[in-house]
Amino acid sequence: MPRFIDLTLTLRRGMRGVEFTPACKVAEDGWNATTLHLYSHCGTHMDAPCHYEVSDQGIDQIPIEACAGPAWIVDLGAIEPRGLIDVQHLGTVASQLQPGESILFRSGWSSRLEQPEYRLALPRIAPGLARWCAGRRVRIVGVEPPAVADVTDRAETTEIHRILLAGGVGIVEGLAHLDRIRHPKVWFMALPIKWERGDGAPVRALAIEGAPWADWIPEIPL
């Protein structure tokens, strides 16, 4: 039977870029409702090409087929804070990956969510790996840190995002629970909130182990 693993951080009060305010209450209005104030790149989220203006494509214009497909799990082990993730970390995945497949980097970094280093000392994608992913037509690069590059270094952040997004590689940041995945390859989905011309959006990300369609690569419409 297929096994589902939720890879999404729970949005909650106190999280960076997240705020909830009551809109209605049962005692006064007859039902409960809440107004959500969300930074477009909070929690587990996807970046759109317009985030770094590599094109004007917004999150609502990304084909749904580009948000799902087979994904390899690359275990980074005990990677150091500020460590560079490069092509050699891929191991045998580098020779097995097919165009249209995704890569999820398991670093355990999501366990540091409550610590300052979660954002300020994150391991990041090296330029060489970003170019490799673009050249091999990787569908999505998924990472546990809140960004694929050092958020304190504007030049680095711009370079890595531009290489990936301009190369047609989707970016999903802020993944969690990759340690629950048992298989080296899964079916992965990250479905973003569909808001008009959005530069990014929170996603519900999940992995499916043992899916009968595990090797099916959806064709992305032109």
DSSP code for 120: H
Q: What is the pLDDT at residue 123?
A: 97
Which residues share a beta bridge with 67? none
Residue with tokens 């106190």: 14
What CATH number does residue 58 fall under? 3.50.30.50
Residue with tokens 């419409």: 221
Residue 149 forms part of a structural domain: yes
Q: What is the pLDDT at residue 78?
A: 83
Q: What is the largest CA-CA distance in the chain?
A: 61
Q: For residues 150-163, give the mean pLDDT.
A: 97
Residue 222 forms part of a structural domain: no
Q: What is the pLDDT at residue 17?
A: 97
Q: Residues 121-142: pLDDT tens digits?
A: 999 999 999 999 999 999 999 9
Nearest CA to 79 among 42, 55, 111, 53?
A: 111
Residue 18 forms part of a structural domain: no
Q: For residues 65-82, give the mean pLDDT.
A: 96
Residue with tokens 């694929």: 148
Question: Does residue 222 have a pLDDT over 80?
Answer: no
Q: Residues 168-178: pLDDT tens digits?
A: 999 999 999 99
Percent of the chain past pLDDT 70, that is, above it, reads 100
Q: Residues 80-100: pLDDT tens digits?
A: 999 999 999 999 999 999 999
Residue 112 forms part of a structural domain: yes
The whole-angstrom distance between residue 189's C-alpha and the CA centroid of its chain comes to: 10
Structural domain including 179 reads 3-11+40-209
Residue 218 forms part of a structural domain: no
Percent of the chain past pLDDT 90, that is, above it, reads 97
Structural domains of the chain, count = 1
Q: Residues 21-62: pLDDT tens digits?
A: 999 999 999 999 999 999 999 999 999 999 999 999 999 999
Query: DSSP of 47-107, one letter per residue?
Result: E-GGGTTSSS--GGGS-GGGGEEEEEEEE--SPPTT-EE-GGGGTTHHHH--TT-EEEEE-
Residue 193 forms part of a structural domain: yes
Q: What is the pLDDT at residue 214?
A: 87
Residue 30 forms part of a structural domain: no
Residue 153 forms part of a structural domain: yes
147 — phi, psi (to 5°)?
A: -155, 160
Q: What is the pLDDT at residue 194?
A: 98
Residue 58 to residue 56: CA distance in whole angstroms: 6
